[in-house]
A = this chain, B = another copy of it.
Amino acid sequence: MGVFVASTRPKVVVTRNLGPETMPLLLERDDVEVVVWPEDTYCDRKWLLENVRGATGLLVMLSDRVDAELLEAAGPSLKVLSTMSVGYEHVPLPELAKRNIRLGYTPDVLTDAVADIAIMLALMASRNAEEVTAVVRNGEWPKRPWSPFMFCGPQLSASTVHPQRTAGFIGFGRIAQATLKRLVPFGLTTCLYAGNPATPADPAADAAHARAFGLPRVARVGLAELAAESDVVFVLAPGGPATRHVVDAAFLRRMKSTAVLVNAARGTLVDTDALVRALRERWIWGAGLDVLEGEPVIHADHPLVKEPRCTLLPHIGSASIETRQGMAKMAAENLLGGVLGHAMPAEFTGTK
């Protein structure tokens, strides 16, 4: 902490207060100089361009734009960029590679938080959560006399009526598999998934998955079969042009009228207009969305906001206290590791 080390300490810039559990990891060190954006708002670009000058490390959020201008402002001292996110859409990978800047990110740590939300949305979409909570909220419960099938939706769990339950996954990475693991005790019998078209089908791997999850059947299939056979479809693939509108009108028309659609990945994977029609015309039972094209600029008159069979969350997949603390801690450790020349807990090596 002594003044004598001040001039030799590497500077790190952090674009957001990371909370009382994480900030001491940075602020209580005497071998780095820490500069933190002081407001609880998006980091101001002008402030950042000024303060990043001469920094060795930079810790950013998904909401910060990282570009050549910012990297130039930092100058040749910059050795590491640490983002508190699993995504790196906001980071220009070639620019980092050109400057030999290491990149840290926060994969895996959010897997369970998102899988929890995927299960929650599947249940909410099936059991009409949006519709029935509105009945209570609007004081209509006393006016709705009981009847045998009032408020009923399809059951996620297996039943004597439907002993077979099939879940379909668009994308079959860590989050999808964590979601699948949670579905098994609901009596799931079949898991279908549509994988990356660039990788070949692997029946031996499917059989190994079936054994590992204790399921009668795990199989990679085409999108048409996945749509037609699934009781619940989970969209859990990366965003970007390759997956844009993978759930379109043709997909939705193939789905069962009692099936539900869950999107906890990126809004771009689902064609919003097609989903509005699918819900209004009852091609499918319901939808649960944590993400939506155009978010966060979603107004109260958005057709899906007004759709009673659609549950909409404001992108809270990873928004659990534990996960955000874990992400902040990993981002801080990535920053320190890169600045001090140590190992980084999660270094993105796709740039190399």
Q: Within A125-152, which residues are at the interface with B (CB < 8 Å)?
A: 126-130, 132-133, 135-139, 141-142, 144-152
A114-132 CB contact bits vs B (8 Å, 1 = yes)?
0111011001101111101
| A154 is an interface residue with CB less than 8 A from chain B | yes
Of the candidates B142, B301, B312, B320, the one whose C-beta lies within 8 Å of that of A154 is B320
Of the candidates B113, B144, B296, the one whose C-beta lies within 8 Å of that of A141 is B296
* Chain B residue at smallest Cβ distance from A161: B322
| A71 is an interface residue with CB less than 8 A from chain B | no
Set of chain B residues within 8 Å of A115, measured between Cβ atoms = 157
Q: Within A194-248, which residues are at the interface with B (CB < 8 Å)?
A: none
Set of chain B residues within 8 Å of A155, measured between Cβ atoms = 112-113, 116, 320-323
Contact B320 A135 (CB under 8 A): no
Min CB distance A145 to B, Å, is: 6
| A153 is an interface residue with CB less than 8 A from chain B | yes
Min CB distance A191 to B, Å, is: 14
Q: Within A141-196, which residues are at the interface with B (CB < 8 Å)?
A: 141-142, 144-162, 181-182, 184-187
Set of chain B residues within 8 Å of A159, measured between Cβ atoms = 112-113, 320, 322-323, 326
Contact B141 A298 (CB under 8 A): yes
* Residue among A16, A112, A152 with most chain B CB within 10 A: A152
**Complexed CA–CA distance, A151 and B113 (Å):** 13
**Complexed CA–CA distance, A16 and B150 (Å):** 13
| A41 is an interface residue with CB less than 8 A from chain B | yes
Contact A136 B324 (CB under 8 A): no
| A343 is an interface residue with CB less than 8 A from chain B | no
Set of chain B residues within 8 Å of A145, measured between Cβ atoms = 41-42, 63
**Complexed CA–CA distance, A74 and B324 (Å):** 65
Q: How large is the interface on A (under 10, 10 to 19, 20 to 34, 35 or more residues)?
A: 35 or more
Contact A133 B324 (CB under 8 A): no
Contact A153 B41 (CB under 8 A): no
| A109 is an interface residue with CB less than 8 A from chain B | yes
| A313 is an interface residue with CB less than 8 A from chain B | yes
**Complexed CA–CA distance, A155 and B323 (Å):** 8
Contact B151 A299 (CB under 8 A): no
Min CB distance A303 to B, Å, is: 13
Contact A185 B187 (CB under 8 A): no
Q: Within A8-34, which residues are at the interface with B (CB < 8 Å)?
A: 16-19
Of the candidates B16, B117, B126, B298, the one whose C-beta lies within 8 Å of that of A127 is B117
Set of chain B residues within 8 Å of A112, measured between Cβ atoms = 155, 157-159, 186-187
| A94 is an interface residue with CB less than 8 A from chain B | no
**Complexed CA–CA distance, A148 and B117 (Å):** 18
Contact A141 B295 (CB under 8 A): yes
**Can you sample 19 A-B contacts with CB below 8 Å?**
A16-B147, A18-B148, A42-B145, A62-B146, A63-B146, A112-B158, A115-B157, A116-B186, A117-B123, A120-B124, A120-B127, A124-B129, A126-B320, A148-B328, A151-B319, A153-B320, A155-B320, A161-B321, A162-B322
Shortest 10 CB-CB distances between A and B: which pairs? A139-B300, A155-B320, A120-B123, A159-B322, A112-B157, A161-B322, A155-B322, A136-B312, A181-B185, A141-B296
Given pairs A113-B159, A130-B133, 14 additional interface contacts (CB within 8 A): A61-B148, A62-B146, A112-B155, A119-B119, A120-B127, A127-B320, A135-B314, A136-B305, A139-B298, A139-B301, A141-B295, A144-B314, A149-B319, A182-B186
